[in-house]
Amino acid sequence: MSRFGAHTKKVEKVVLACDHAGYLLKNVLKEKLQEYGYAVIDKGAYRLDEDDDYTDFVVPAMKEVVKDLEHTRAIILGGSGQGEAIVANRFAGIRAVVFNGQYKPEDGRMVPHEIVTSRQHNDANVLSLGARFLNEEEALHAVKLWLETPFSREERHVRRNKKIDEMTQHG
């Protein structure tokens, strides 16, 4: 299987990174992930600094993930999670998704859970959380669900992810 193929092994390591907006929530997640039995690699921020830049932490985190795409995932945090995901998706093999809370339509429609579909359909290996939109309970639930949801391996999803991976490999 190619370096960028479907992840078939159990996640063993979770890399964390954040800026000042995600600092407090990252520390809560770190403690819980260790309790769940994951090897956690913390790429910062290591202190609360309102002037820090998320790129300084997300880039080292992604470099860690691409070393072992089959066994490693990352959770990155910022105010909205958007900028962090943009940086993460610049790396070949990374499929970062943003989660700021499950959308609940008021017109009675049912929508699939974004966390579940990000794993089942997209084989997302980076979860970017908007710390200003989620409380601890919501973030912990999302992280646990995301880490425990497997990629479906349905042919259409494998095909689409392969196309994405080929784009990042060849520019």
Q: What is the pLDDT of residue 10?
A: 76
- List, for residues 63-121, the tens digit of each pLDDT value: 999 999 999 999 999 999 999 999 999 999 999 999 998 877 788 877 678 899 999 99
The pLDDT of residue 107 = 83
Give the Cα separation of 103 and 55 in Å (integer). 27
Q: How far apart are CA 134 and CA 121, in angstroms?
A: 23
Active site residue 121: yes
Whole-angstrom distance, CA of residue 35 vs CA of residue 161 = 32
Q: Which of 7, 20, 84, 114 is catalytic?
A: 84
Q: Residue ranges of the domains in the chain?
A: 13-170
110-163 pLDDT, tens per residue?
767 889 999 999 999 999 999 999 999 999 999 999 999 999 888 988 888 888
Catalytic one of 121, 138, 141, 157: 121
The strand pair at 96-99 and 39-42 is best described as unpaired
What pLDDT, on a 0 to 100 scale, did the predictor assign at position 171? 52
Give the per-residue pLDDT at 164. Answer: 83
Half-sphere exposure in the Cβ direction for 97 (13 Å, CA): 18
C-alpha distances out from residue 106 to 18, 23, 40, 117, 135, Å: 32, 33, 38, 21, 22
CATH code matching the domain that covers 13-170, chosen among 1.20.120.1760, 3.40.50.80, 3.40.1400.10, 3.40.630.10: 3.40.1400.10
The pLDDT assigned to 170 comes to: 58
Mark whether 7 is an active-site residue: no
In this prediction, residue 6 has a pLDDT band, given cuts at 50, 70 and 90, of: very low
